Amino acid sequence: MKKKPGIVLIILIVVLLTTGALPALAHPGAPGDPVLPLLIDQGVIIRTHRVNVTIDNQVATTRIEQVFYNEDNRPAEGTYIFPLPVGAAVSDLVMWVDGKPIEAKILDADEARAIYDRIVRQMRDPALLEYVGAGAIQASVFPIQPFSEVKIEIEYGQLLEVENGLVNYTYSLRTDQFTRRPVERTSISVSVESNDEIGPIYSPTHRIGISREGKFAFRAGYESSYERAESDFVLYYGLARDEINVNLLTYRESANEDGFFTLLITPPVEADADRIIPKDVIFVLDQSGSMFGEKWDQARDAAKFVLDNLNERDRFNVIAFSTGYRLYANGLQPVSEVRRAKDWIGGLEALGGTDIDTALQQAMGMVDRERSTVILFLTDGLPTEGETDAADILDNAETVAPPNVRMFTFGVGDDVDTFLLDQLVQSFRGAGTYVRTGERIDEEVSSLYNKISAPVLTDIEIDFGNMLVEELYPALPLPDLFAGTQLIVTGRYRDSGSLTITLTGELDGERQVYRYEVDFPANAGGEVFIPRLWATRKIGALLNAIRLHGENPELVDSIVRLSIRYGIITPYTSFLIEEQDIFTQSGVEEAQTAFRDEADQSFSAASGAVAVDAAESAANLAGAEMPMPAMTRVPAGESEKAWADGSAPPGYAEGAPQGQPLRYAADRTFVWRDGAWIDTLYNADEMTPITVTFLSDAYFDLLDLDPRVGEYLAVGDHVLFVWDGQAYEVVPD
């Protein structure tokens, strides 16, 4: 599978050790010199990994600063090898060691392959096989003296390609092949300028901060401490084509299987005032006695924030409820009333019970069917007065609610009815947030309102023409589209071909139509993160269905199989990966039973900490913008000492390399079992593996099957993987 062109830097330090205990490897640049790869956790740690990237009209310049520290009492010196992605054209390479320029050489794919093979054979370490088919950069490195630092600086540039309207930048951040020690400080900063307007900005691998600087520039950043990167850093940004952008990313494991896709729907960065749909905002605020004190102060501040940030053509009202309710006004008010409304809210006190049903009925009763309406519902407790049955409260709200209502809920603390809040969100096409102890109500409300303050398209529909698509997440009907956000839709597709996607929606009562030309490929390949993102969202939707509507054996079966196949660990299925036999039918059935027992305890309660945890977990999975990562971050409080003695910190699977029960390689998930990494596609009931000895000629012949196989082999020296229906087991000699 061809990797996207992009900047990639994976460092393998080749050193001369004074012991001479291991056999020598002829250096390709200086024949006869004994060198061998240094495993970083033998004495050298990465203290700093800082990356600064500037992209000017698709020309990327990457500047890397890395600080290595030698904890050993022996010097280390030798050669760097930088594998590059297939197709990358690197230019203007400059390299410094401790401020002194050194000469570096760019190797083509064949030269790099020869080096990789020799190092793997010599060191009995398959990590570099991940880069088979790639070129490399090679450079000599000055010695790293005992208990000393060396700073490596590299600068080089390349031209990034555009595919389907998206520019892709990739940086190889992962170090888990070479060390079990975390990198002390990691940072990536990307600055982009373009002559064309910039549309969507998306990272499927890291939670980045984004700062747009007008229509033609933006900055993106990522930082972490004591983290062992589990995936490369990937960034996409789109070039604006229409008022609303639609960009398609796809993946297909083989031409004989259905494909996966991700659709990015992005409105204009700066929507004109006349393109923002006027809306009505109704704040339904729990004023019961349990809100008294700091919670009530924050809730009032949140309401005031919303009022201060209304658009010119918006209207509003506030309903404060406890034992009964109070209205700011009898009807929806213009923004000219904001100052007096804030004064009114400031004079309210928290006391009384919790009559949710009456408050929601009042909110629905003031909705104007001709305008987009947002209800912000905040409560910290269960219904205690009026109608107290959650199902009846939901039925009453659905009976009187017009179709133009969107509800956004905020459950404060653990004593809330998560079933009621989540069903309100589902019924009224909004979103839910739980404000836990120690979190600020006003910050949560303001954060969400900033995302939904400017609707630009409602009642969205997508027509894929003749292409058969299914299992869309989020499911239809789709959420509304707001300025400054983007809607991510994942799904499966059959067949292939070029076609026109039609996007329609409402704007000020008029139906808007947008058309986009896209291509669904027939051949294998694409973006490997897409299947795991789709599975993440599907698991979240299935968990929500079980929580809200009860257990269904088919849903449990689907969750278990998806969790196994894609290595998506949830609070309820982690033991599947760590303990259960997941490679036989009987083992999967036992896992389903175990899951069912575990889920019963988590899903049966509507309120309490366990219920809120379950609701948050399901919501995070269902709305994920990136696949769930494997466990890579060092637990809090363990940063400085974690892995210091070569052992894993608490919470990591005992015995597994790097303390993890699973690893991802390309489109596969590998689980650690009895000293081997096993592909979750393996079925022990139906497959007989072909045994291949590690480092034999037959072992290296496996690389000719497909470039992806190199990534599978790089997982370890004892690995079982499936290719084209056949299982292969690589065993140590």
Per-residue pLDDT of 99-123, as tens digits, reads 888 888 888 888 888 888 888 888 7
β-sheet bridge partners, residue 318: 283
Give the residue ranges of DSSP H helices in 508-603. 529-549, 553-566, 574-578, 585-603
Q: State which residues of the chain have pLDDT below 50.
A: 1-41, 631-655
The three-class DSSP label of residue 406 is: strand
For residue 75, give the nearest of 121, 118, 38, 126 by alpha carbon: 38
The span from the CA of 558 to the CA of 531, in Å, is: 15
* Contact (Cβ atoms closer than 8 angstroms) between residue 115 and residue 28: yes
Which pLDDT value is given to residue 55? 96
The span from the CA of 728 to the CA of 495, in Å, is: 30
Q: Where in the chain is the domain with CATH 2.60.40.3680?
A: 12-239
* Contact (Cβ atoms closer than 8 angstroms) between residue 492 and residue 508: no
Q: At what angle do helices 418-427 and 529-549 cross, to 10 degrees?
A: 120
Torsion sign over Cα 646, 648, 653, 659 = negative
The two beta strands, 245-252 and 259-266, are: antiparallel
The span from the CA of 595 to the CA of 637, in Å, is: 31
**Which long-range CB contacts under 8 A does 101-108 form with residues at least 24 apart?**
102/139, 102/140, 102/141, 102/142, 103/139, 103/140, 104/80, 104/137, 104/138, 104/139, 105/29, 105/137, 105/138, 105/139, 106/135, 106/136, 106/137, 106/138, 107/135, 107/136, 107/137, 107/138, 108/135
* Contact (Cβ atoms closer than 8 angstroms) between residue 279 and residue 455: yes
Q: 277-453 has which CATH code? A: 3.40.50.410
Q: At what angle do helices 609-622 and 529-549 cross, to 10 degrees?
A: 140
For residue 14, give the nearest of 119, 92, 114, 150 by alpha carbon: 119
277: left (phi over 0), alpha (psi -120 to 50) or beta: beta
pTM for this one? 0.85
Asked if the 245-273+456-527 domain carries CATH number 2.60.40, the reply is yes
Which pLDDT value is given to residue 336? 96
Which pLDDT value is given to residue 32? 33
Q: Which residue has the tokens 């401490």?
A: 225
Q: Where in the chain is the domain with CATH 3.40.50.410?
A: 277-453
* Contact (Cβ atoms closer than 8 angstroms) between residue 705 and residue 1: no
Residue 514 half-sphere exposure toward CB, CA atoms < 13 A: 21
The span from the CA of 565 to the CA of 128, in Å, is: 25
* Contact (Cβ atoms closer than 8 angstroms) between residue 93 and residue 102: no
Which pLDDT value is given to residue 26? 31
Torsion sign over Cα 424, 268, 467, 252 = negative
Fold assignment, 12-239:
Immunoglobulin-like (2.60.40)
Q: Which residue has the tokens 């600080």?
A: 67
How many other C-beta atoms lie within 10 A of the C-beta of residue 580?
Answer: 19
